[in-house]
Amino acid sequence: MRVSANVRIQWLHGELSRNTYPNAARLAERFHISRRQAQRDIDFLKKQLNAPVEYDGRIMGYHYTRPFTLPISVTNENDGGLSRLTGNPFARETVADSAKADSVIIQGQIPYTATLTINDKLTVLEMRSYIISEEARGQFLCEFHNIDRFLCAILTARSGIRIVEPAWLRDKLLHMARKAINNNQD
Protein backbone atom coordinates (compact mmCIF):
# COMPACT_ATOMS: atom_id res chain seq x y z
CA MET A 1 0.00 0.00 0.00
CA ARG A 2 1.39 3.40 -1.03
CA VAL A 3 1.56 6.01 1.70
CA SER A 4 2.05 9.74 1.25
CA ALA A 5 5.07 11.64 2.52
CA ASN A 6 2.74 13.23 5.11
CA VAL A 7 2.05 9.90 6.73
CA ARG A 8 5.70 8.86 6.61
CA ILE A 9 6.83 12.08 8.29
CA GLN A 10 4.16 11.76 10.97
CA TRP A 11 5.11 8.13 11.60
CA LEU A 12 8.78 9.10 11.81
CA HIS A 13 7.95 11.92 14.22
CA GLY A 14 5.96 9.51 16.39
CA GLU A 15 8.81 7.00 16.51
CA LEU A 16 11.34 9.71 17.33
CA SER A 17 9.06 11.08 20.05
CA ARG A 18 8.79 7.59 21.59
CA ASN A 19 12.59 7.17 21.47
CA THR A 20 12.45 4.00 19.35
CA TYR A 21 15.49 5.15 17.31
CA PRO A 22 14.16 4.68 13.77
CA ASN A 23 16.55 4.71 10.82
CA ALA A 24 16.29 4.90 7.02
CA ALA A 25 16.24 1.12 6.62
CA ARG A 26 13.33 0.75 9.03
CA LEU A 27 11.40 3.61 7.42
CA ALA A 28 12.00 2.13 3.97
CA GLU A 29 10.85 -1.32 5.08
CA ARG A 30 7.78 0.02 6.89
CA PHE A 31 6.50 2.01 3.90
CA HIS A 32 7.93 -0.02 1.00
CA ILE A 33 10.03 2.84 -0.30
CA SER A 34 13.69 3.03 -1.24
CA ARG A 35 16.31 3.75 1.41
CA ARG A 36 17.17 6.84 -0.59
CA GLN A 37 13.58 8.11 -0.30
CA ALA A 38 13.56 7.24 3.41
CA GLN A 39 16.74 9.23 3.93
CA ARG A 40 15.18 12.16 2.04
CA ASP A 41 12.23 12.02 4.47
CA ILE A 42 14.61 12.09 7.46
CA ASP A 43 16.60 14.94 5.89
CA PHE A 44 13.37 16.83 5.20
CA LEU A 45 12.34 16.53 8.84
CA LYS A 46 15.75 17.70 9.97
CA LYS A 47 16.56 20.42 7.45
CA GLN A 48 13.22 21.77 6.26
CA LEU A 49 11.21 21.42 9.45
CA ASN A 50 14.21 22.22 11.68
CA ALA A 51 13.64 19.16 13.83
CA PRO A 52 16.41 18.46 16.37
CA VAL A 53 17.16 15.06 14.83
CA GLU A 54 20.51 13.39 15.50
CA TYR A 55 21.91 10.00 14.54
CA ASP A 56 23.27 7.74 17.29
CA GLY A 57 25.87 5.42 15.78
CA ARG A 58 25.90 3.10 18.79
CA ILE A 59 22.17 2.38 18.49
CA MET A 60 22.14 2.87 14.71
CA GLY A 61 19.08 5.10 14.76
CA TYR A 62 17.86 8.66 14.99
CA HIS A 63 16.48 10.48 18.02
CA TYR A 64 15.32 13.96 19.02
CA THR A 65 17.87 15.91 21.05
CA ARG A 66 15.06 17.90 22.67
CA PRO A 67 11.24 17.80 22.64
CA PHE A 68 9.83 18.77 19.26
CA THR A 69 6.37 19.35 17.82
CA LEU A 70 5.75 19.23 14.10
CA PRO A 71 4.86 22.55 12.51
CA ILE A 72 1.47 22.21 10.95
CA SER A 73 0.56 23.66 7.64
CA VAL A 74 -3.06 22.85 6.96
CA THR A 75 -3.89 22.86 3.29
CA ASN A 76 -6.16 25.44 1.75
CA GLU A 77 -9.29 24.96 -0.35
CA ASN A 78 -7.17 24.69 -3.50
CA ASP A 79 -5.38 21.76 -1.93
CA GLY A 80 -8.52 20.00 -0.75
CA GLY A 81 -8.25 20.88 2.91
CA LEU A 82 -8.53 23.72 5.41
CA SER A 83 -7.30 27.26 5.04
CA ARG A 84 -5.07 28.41 7.89
CA LEU A 85 -1.47 27.90 8.93
CA THR A 86 -0.97 26.70 12.49
CA GLY A 87 1.88 25.57 14.68
CA ASN A 88 4.36 27.56 12.61
CA PRO A 89 6.52 30.15 14.41
CA PHE A 90 5.79 32.63 11.60
CA ALA A 91 2.02 32.15 11.75
CA ARG A 92 -0.42 34.18 13.80
CA GLU A 93 -2.18 31.16 15.26
CA THR A 94 -0.67 28.24 17.11
CA VAL A 95 -2.15 25.01 18.32
CA ALA A 96 -1.80 24.86 22.10
CA ASP A 97 -2.39 21.14 22.43
CA SER A 98 0.75 19.54 20.96
CA ALA A 99 -0.87 16.08 20.90
CA LYS A 100 -3.60 17.54 18.71
CA ALA A 101 -1.01 19.37 16.64
CA ASP A 102 0.94 16.18 16.02
CA SER A 103 -2.17 14.44 14.72
CA VAL A 104 -2.88 16.99 11.98
CA ILE A 105 -1.37 16.26 8.59
CA ILE A 106 1.39 18.63 7.60
CA GLN A 107 1.07 19.33 3.92
CA GLY A 108 2.45 22.71 2.91
CA GLN A 109 6.11 21.76 2.95
CA ILE A 110 5.81 18.04 2.38
CA PRO A 111 5.29 16.97 -1.21
CA TYR A 112 1.97 15.69 -2.49
CA THR A 113 1.96 12.26 -4.07
CA ALA A 114 0.09 10.92 -7.07
CA THR A 115 0.09 7.74 -9.09
CA LEU A 116 0.07 8.24 -12.85
CA THR A 117 -0.30 5.91 -15.79
CA ILE A 118 2.14 6.91 -18.54
CA ASN A 119 2.53 4.63 -21.54
CA ASP A 120 4.94 6.68 -23.64
CA LYS A 121 8.67 6.58 -22.83
CA LEU A 122 9.25 10.16 -23.97
CA THR A 123 6.49 11.36 -21.68
CA VAL A 124 8.09 9.42 -18.82
CA LEU A 125 11.29 11.37 -19.55
CA GLU A 126 9.33 14.65 -19.57
CA MET A 127 7.86 13.82 -16.17
CA ARG A 128 11.11 12.50 -14.63
CA SER A 129 11.46 15.47 -12.27
CA TYR A 130 8.24 14.33 -10.56
CA ILE A 131 8.65 10.53 -10.75
CA ILE A 132 10.13 8.86 -7.67
CA SER A 133 9.42 5.22 -8.55
CA GLU A 134 7.74 2.89 -11.01
CA GLU A 135 5.03 1.01 -9.14
CA ALA A 136 3.99 -1.31 -11.95
CA ARG A 137 4.53 -1.39 -15.68
CA GLY A 138 3.45 2.06 -16.86
CA GLN A 139 2.39 3.25 -13.38
CA PHE A 140 4.56 5.80 -11.64
CA LEU A 141 4.54 7.30 -8.16
CA CYS A 142 5.16 11.04 -8.34
CA GLU A 143 5.84 13.73 -5.76
CA PHE A 144 5.22 17.44 -6.27
CA HIS A 145 4.94 20.62 -4.24
CA ASN A 146 2.87 22.83 -6.53
CA ILE A 147 -0.47 21.40 -7.63
CA ASP A 148 -1.06 23.79 -10.54
CA ARG A 149 2.46 23.35 -11.93
CA PHE A 150 2.11 19.56 -11.74
CA LEU A 151 -1.27 19.63 -13.49
CA CYS A 152 0.14 21.92 -16.20
CA ALA A 153 2.95 19.41 -16.77
CA ILE A 154 0.32 16.69 -17.23
CA LEU A 155 -1.76 18.85 -19.59
CA THR A 156 1.22 19.77 -21.76
CA ALA A 157 2.79 16.30 -21.95
CA ARG A 158 3.38 14.74 -25.39
CA SER A 159 1.00 11.87 -24.83
CA GLY A 160 -1.82 10.96 -22.52
CA ILE A 161 -1.27 10.72 -18.80
CA ARG A 162 -3.95 9.32 -16.52
CA ILE A 163 -4.11 10.22 -12.84
CA VAL A 164 -4.81 6.93 -11.05
CA GLU A 165 -4.91 8.50 -7.61
CA PRO A 166 -5.68 10.64 -5.69
CA ALA A 167 -9.22 11.23 -6.93
CA TRP A 168 -9.24 14.87 -5.76
CA LEU A 169 -6.31 15.64 -8.07
CA ARG A 170 -8.02 13.96 -11.04
CA ASP A 171 -11.19 15.97 -10.27
CA LYS A 172 -9.18 19.20 -10.13
CA LEU A 173 -7.59 18.41 -13.51
CA LEU A 174 -11.01 17.75 -15.04
CA HIS A 175 -12.36 20.99 -13.55
CA MET A 176 -9.41 22.95 -15.00
CA ALA A 177 -9.89 21.37 -18.43
CA ARG A 178 -13.66 22.06 -18.46
CA LYS A 179 -13.06 25.65 -17.42
CA ALA A 180 -10.50 26.16 -20.19
CA ILE A 181 -12.87 24.63 -22.77
CA ASN A 182 -15.82 26.75 -21.58
CA ASN A 183 -13.72 29.92 -21.62
CA ASN A 184 -12.64 29.30 -25.20
CA GLN A 185 -15.89 28.27 -26.86
CA ASP A 186 -17.48 30.67 -29.34
| pLDDT tens figures, 16-47 | 999 999 999 999 998 888 899 999 999 999 98
The single-letter DSSP state of residue 5 is H
Burial class (CB in 10 A: 0-12, 13-18, 19+), 65: exposed
Q: How many domains does the chain have?
A: 2
Q: Is the link from the previous residue into 89 a cis peptide, with omega within 30 of 0?
A: no
CA angle 8, 29, 48 (to 5 degrees): 35
Average pLDDT estimate for 106-135:
82
| Arithmetic mean of pLDDT over the chain | 79
Q: Is 33 helix (H, G, I), strand (E, B) or coil?
A: coil
Query: Are residues 119 and 88 part of one domain?
Result: no
Query: Are residues 152 and 95 part of one domain?
Result: no
pLDDT tens, position by position, 147-179: 888 999 998 888 889 999 998 899 999 998 898
Q: What is the pLDDT of residue 140?
A: 93
User: Residue 40 sits in which domain range?
Assistant: 5-103
